[in-house]
């Protein structure tokens, strides 16, 4: 399975308090997301504001994409949501 991440900016979803970002799994687009809580707890987001979450995502993009890749390897070409607990117990 080939997994890559386009360099597009993350998309904020206020309703779910997540930042979404795309992955390509064998050339198929798959939605990934990370919770605001994970960005605050593990990547230094200063608040739930979109700008603060996006800054934390950008600063730690490589680590977040590596975590998403790990999840995608487990579940295949299905959407993944990275919660704070994933980083607490799996990294």
Per-residue pLDDT, 68: 97
Predicted TM-score (pTM) of the model is: 0.94
Measure the CA–CA gap between 63 and 57, rounded to whole angstroms: 9
Cα distance between residue 38 and residue 45, in whole Å: 9
DSSP letter for 79, please.
-
Name the CATH architecture for the domain at 3-85: 2-Layer Sandwich (3.30)
pLDDT of 91: 55
**Token pair in block for residue 74:** 């487990």
Ranges of each domain in the chain:
3-85
Instruction: Report how far residue 3's alpha carbon sits from residue 27's, in angstroms, rounded to the nearest whole number.
Output: 8
**Residue ranges of the chain whose pLDDT lies below 50:** none
Supply the pLDDT for residue 89.
77
> CA neighbours within 13 Å on the CB side: how many for 71?
22
């Amino acid at each position: 399975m080939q997994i890559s991440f386009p360099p597009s900016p993350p998309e904020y979803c206020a309703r779910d308090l997540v930042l979404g970002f795309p992955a390509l799994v064998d050339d198929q687009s798959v939605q990934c997301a990370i919770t605001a809580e994970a960005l605050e707890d593990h990547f230094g987001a200063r608040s739930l504001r979109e700008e603060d979450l996006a800054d934390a995502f950008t600063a730690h993009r490589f680590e977040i994409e590596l975590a998403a890749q790990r999840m995608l390897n487990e579940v295949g070409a299905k959407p993944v949501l990275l919660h704070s607990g994933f980083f607490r117990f799996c990294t």
